[in-house]
Structure 1
């Protein structure tokens, strides 16, 4: 098979993997309501936590992180064997991330991408992923706002990437993911400014 077709197949497979809605899978496994029917109505781990079921939230979190990591890992590990360009890894990273944001299985209305982005960054470079996760965790633990933690971590990720690699094409990939994350969290930013954003663990909002 020509490398171009393999590249397109890899991008499509990554998008479909990213489209798997682990929030809904977890909710059905644990017998919970559809996460799109309560809280922020977002199919993500933070909103599933608002159901009060920590196990379901952890299941969602692991699933969303794992799909981002797996897609990029496979592209990095096996791409060279099939003659794929190094840029394919970046394209696969974007495909799995945007698959989560705009999943075909949920009429293109997905989550906000924080966990999947974390998986992607960990697969691209563990140090980049860990630095970004540490930033998110620090803000989340201190201020108890998942959305604010996501905004700060998203802003920091391209900076960390540039510090690690300098002028590298993958920095552009990380920058696109960061901008998408900020865009997805824009309503949260408005609520933060208005003082109406729910904190982590809250069942309101």
Structure 2
């Protein structure tokens, strides 16, 4: 059952909602716009806030949905497996030749479903960092690295390893952003990449 859970969660996570909403809104192929990423930040670069908001909600929602359904149907041990599988599906979607997004929204949605106080706190860190610096990638990196720390601080120690692994992958997928941050060339929210 755990293997089936992981497979189904991965397939759900692989759904590229950014591309879906961009096409439904007539915005073109998201992979040929801005950074080419399939996440909400790049959808925002098309100028369509509704499409970006829907992408954010759906990308977070697929991680949360996978966790909740796995917990109800299989048990608590399946919840983390489903969350990680959905996250990996977003980052490496089978439907797009394993070239996906950076996983931030799915990470946050998964974290909220696994332990809502931790997830909400990580979202708060993202919002505060984004408001202060106006750089989405920086907010993502700070939120990702704060997740395991918040989990430990709030007494959810069993999530530290899972959230740390996801955070590490988020950092790896943000390598180019990190290089631009160091060089002072990372675009700000609302600015063309």
TM-score class, shorter: over 0.9
Q: Supply the distance in 1 between the matched residues of 2:162 and 2:185 (Cα, whole angstroms).
A: 32
Match of 1:192 in 2: 181
Partner SS for 1:109: coil
CA deviations on 1:43-68 (whole Å, 9 max, x unpaired) are 00000100011111111111101101
CA RMSD, 1 decimal = 1.1
Q: What stretches of structure 1 move > 4 A for 4+ residues in a row?
A: none
Match of 2:145 in 1: 155
Normalising by the residue count of structure 1, what TM-score does the alignment of the two structures yield? 0.91
Q: Supply the distance in 2 between the matched residues of 1:9 and 1:110 (Cα, whole angstroms).
A: 22
Match of 1:123 in 2: 113
Partner SS for 1:165: coil
**Which of 15, 18, 21 matches 2:13?**
18
Q: How many residue pairs get matched?
A: 193
Q: Supply the distance in 2 between the matched residues of 1:182 and 1:76 (Cα, whole angstroms).
A: 28
- When Rg is computed on C-alpha atoms for both structures, the one with the higher figure is 1
Q: Supply the distance in 1 between the matched residues of 2:68 and 2:156 (Cα, whole angstroms).
A: 22
Q: Supply the distance in 1 between the matched residues of 2:94 and 2:44 (Cα, whole angstroms).
A: 24
Normalising by the residue count of structure 2, what TM-score does the alignment of the two structures yield? 0.96
The runs of 5 or more residues in structure 2 that have no matched partner are none
| Maintained 8 Å contact 2:130/2:139 | yes
Q: Supply the distance in 2 between the matched residues of 1:192 and 1:174 (Cα, whole angstroms).
A: 23
